[in-house]
Structure 1
Amino acid sequence: MAAIGTLLQLRRFSAPLVLFLAGFVVLNPGHCEEQVPLILWTSERVSLPAQSPPAAGHVVGPQQLAGYLQRALRASPKNVVLFLQDKLISCCVSDELIGQVLSTMKTQSVPYTAIYTALQPSKEAASLSMDSSLGGGRSLLQARGHRERERERERQRKMKEKAQIYAPVEFKEGEDTCVLLWARSLSVSILRSGRWEDHDLTSSTFGEGVSPKLHGSSCDKTRARLVLNYENVLGHRSFKLIFAMTQRLYKVSARRWFTLDALELEYDGTKATFNGSRSVYAPAEYSYRCESVSSFRWPLLVPRSSKDPANQWRVSFQDFQIQGFNVSGSEFSYASDCAGFFSPGIWMGLMTSLLMVLVLTYGLHMIMQLRTMDRFDDPKGPAISVPQTE
């Protein structure tokens, strides 16, 4: 069965003629939704019979389409170049290939009539454009359905991103919130038979509708203790993560600071303790935040001793934030970030600059040590004699 199509647009330009025969070619008569645009243009200025645009939704039959193509090709160059794709897409690769072919024909002064179409439409490309460098203007065929699908896809993407931002773990003493904890991911690992076994605790701790068990937690003005209770973690029926924090006045800085003194893992009557006071700290009125807090790979959590069971465990937080004092409402205070002012890049720049300054200083010093001659031969006077001694 012959293909049928819809004639969308036909234009003549004062520049070298470009004709856009934008039809929707139906490849399968039983599936009329599979329509492919067809674009036709020429390299020369030609005079074509006027063609009134059809009404919206008009379907051009096979004979009508064939008749128009015959009239167009009769008046245009007889060298026909067909660009046929498996799926009609508009991208840099297709435009580059077409440009190379037509540039070669233009260099050799070969007139042509070009047709661009495909065997089937693209699900993602509902618009098609032709670069003006191919010999004429640029036409953009857009579909309302495509724009609506793009808006729906963008809306779903924003909803997905919003869903990933969940509330922190919140412990209240009475009606007041005193401890907040948040992390993008939380996992623990144990070393067994020479290999690490991992367990992800993120879904059990954070997320919409998740309420971790916090019994055993407590807080006052100087101490805070947050206990996360789990079950069946890496073969242990009872498993706890305990954050022990204190705040005190440091006379050197004349302000109060809080520290994460210890992160404890309690499981089936055994306790593993990580010391975090040396790295996890912030002013008492701030929260503490760090992109990565772990007991391995640049560890901020260190086992309390070489014989502590913590040496058999790994703990990892990603995008970690905690506040144990001076919490106002259910939101974190200003975050004191663990990233230092002097990053590796800054140090590299400073060391390179210092090296260049040292080289420049040495060069200037050598130049200043140069001495010029202070005596010269007088052609009218006696020659200068330089005594040579053994």
Structure 2
Amino acid sequence: MAGSRCSSRVRLMAFLALFATLFFTASSVAQVPLLMWSSDGLPPLASPAAGHITTNGQLTAYFTSAFGAGPHTVLLLLQDKLSKDDFTVFGGVFGNKQDSAFQNLEAALQSSSSSVMLPALEWSDSSVIPALLQEKLGVSPLLVDADTLSHLSINSSASNLLLINLPYCTGLDTSCKGVLHANDEIIGKVLSIMKAKDVQYTAIYTGLQPSRVISETSLSVQPAGRSLLQAELPDVKPPIMFNVSGNPCIMLWAQNLSISTSKDVWIDLDAQTPSMSGSICNDSTSLLVLSYESGYTLRFTMSRRFYPVSARFWFTLDSVQLQANGLTASFIGSRNIYAPAEYSFHCQSVTSFRDILLVPNNTNSNTTLWMLNFIDFQIQGFGLANGTDFSYASDCAGFFTPGIWMGLLTGLLMLLILVYGLHMIMQVTTMDRFDDPKGPSISVPQSE
């Protein structure tokens, strides 16, 4: 028993040491989104790769090309706090459009001649953006509000930097949506005033600081297995993206898309560039068709439904079909692969033969012979109308791992033993009568 307790202490000390190492090597990556649009055009900017964080140097270079020559009128809509989560939670721009708190902002982005969206801009100080614009335009910012702007005379022959401060909420979801909706009304009023004045302008909407800070483990102590969601990794390939009218509609990324149509022979399709002809998407159904020159075709069918029990929309990956040499194998995944409609789905391993997430459809004889193996798989078929990056991922890994269950059961067993021992001790009683060495001894009569 003593050896067992000693061994338990050693394992506990090792676990605490590992936890402390991971905790103190974690670093916070602060990011703010930046939305920029113009009534007279902006220089083209390539969409950032999935998981990419735009640095201040890259933003400086783009501002140099955008405001390099001639006078410019810039509206800097500077909110106290702003993160990409605000768009995801409260709808619009990067997420679900239903009941959006950013309707005027969305309308301005859609109606502008050109726009730039940076979902993740490196943040280090609240004065970076105003100072950078002041340097590029050569003028100091002028703090205005909607009423002041309506009576302000703007000289289009000189550069102008108009600063409009917007508040942020106190933390409650209901108040946050109300504050963001009020800010959106201010943005709409300001843009209407600029249109009425017939002044060409460039508008920038960003935050003084992030409203949420995401902690990520240092790359030096964590393998880059899920590198898609990390920052500035040059070897990360871009995701497969299907666009409708220039807007992303379906996104898929995987480290490997491996298939097998014969025993022990695997083919990695991810090394080939597919054609997406035949893909479709709408508010309720998404179909991603990946046709490869080698003759293989993968079809991912997804659906979006409202579930009254959870009072929200969810999307499911209903099926994956593999076509080769005129034959088709079908795999069902609707009960295993699902996520909230505004999220993406991620899983380290999606297979049809081990820890099955894609269940073979036995009605097709080819399904029992063919196999699928997707490594570091992530897919999203909804909520990408104005975004170029995956939403937060709903991971297939459960919270209660086998190790956690073992620890809970062991702790419960030890607790039961302790309670039983205390109960036995409480039941111990003393004798009602004792021998008195100074008096007569107790005699017990014996009968023959």
Which residue pairs with 1:227 in the alignment? 289
Q: Contact 1:303–1:311 at 8 Å: present in 2 too?
A: yes
Residue 379, structure 1, aligned to residue 437, structure 2: yes
CA distance in 2: counterparts of 1:266 and 1:248, whole angstroms: 27
Q: What secondary structure, in the 3-state scheme, does the structure 1 residue paired with 2:399 have? A: coil
Residue 264, structure 1, aligned to residue 321, structure 2: yes
Which residue pairs with 1:164 in the alignment? 235
Q: What secondary structure, in the 3-state scheme, does the structure 1 residue paired with 2:264 have? A: strand
Considering only CA atoms, is the larger Rg found in Structure 1 or Structure 2?
A: 1
CA distance in 2: counterparts of 1:366 and 1:346, whole angstroms: 30
Which residue pairs with 1:239 in the alignment? 296
CA distance in 2: counterparts of 1:355 and 1:307, whole angstroms: 48
TM-score after normalising by structure 2: 0.46
Among 167, 170, 189, which residue is 2:260 paired with? 189
CA distance in 2: counterparts of 1:296 and 1:174, whole angstroms: 38
Residue 275, structure 1, aligned to residue 332, structure 2: yes
Q: How does 1:1-390 map to 2 (within 5 A)?
A: 162-191=233-262, 195-204=263-272, 210=273, 212-232=274-294, 238-305=295-362, 308-327=365-384, 328-386=386-444
Return closer, same or farther for 1:162/1:380 CA change in 2, 3 Å cut-off: closer
Return closer, same or farther for 1:274/1:381 CA change in 2, 3 Å cut-off: same
* 1:113-165 Cα distance to aligned partner (Å, 9 max, x none): xxxxxxxxxxxxxxxxxxxxxxxxxxxxxxxxxxxxxxxxxxxxxxxx94420
Moved more, 347-356 or 380-389: 380-389
Return closer, same or farther for 1:372/1:276 CA change in 2, 3 Å cut-off: same
Q: What secondary structure, in the 3-state scheme, does the structure 1 residue paired with 2:296 have? A: strand
- Quote how far apart the aligned CAs of 1:307 are: 5.3
TM-score after normalising by structure 1: 0.52
- Quote how far apart the aligned CAs of 1:272 are: 0.9
Q: Gaps spanning 5+ residues in structure 2: where?
A: 1-231
Q: Gaps spanning 5+ residues in structure 1: where?
A: 1-160, 205-209, 233-237
CA distance in 2: counterparts of 1:200 and 1:295, whole angstroms: 15
Aligned-pair identity in percent equals: 55
The one-letter code sitting in structure 2 at the alignment partner of 1:203 is A
Q: Contact 1:273–1:308 at 8 Å: present in 2 too?
A: no
The one-letter code sitting in structure 2 at the alignment partner of 1:202 is D
CA distance in 1: counterparts of 2:306 and 2:265, whole angstroms: 41
The one-letter code sitting in structure 1 at the alignment partner of 2:253 is W
CA distance in 2: counterparts of 1:353 and 1:184, whole angstroms: 39
Return closer, same or farther for 1:384/1:331 CA change in 2, 3 Å cut-off: same
* 1:234-271 Cα distance to aligned partner (Å, 9 max, x none): xxxx3210000001011111100000000111223322
Q: Contact 2:349–2:377 at 8 Å: present in 1 too?
A: yes
- Tell me the C-alpha RMSD between the 2 structures: 2.1
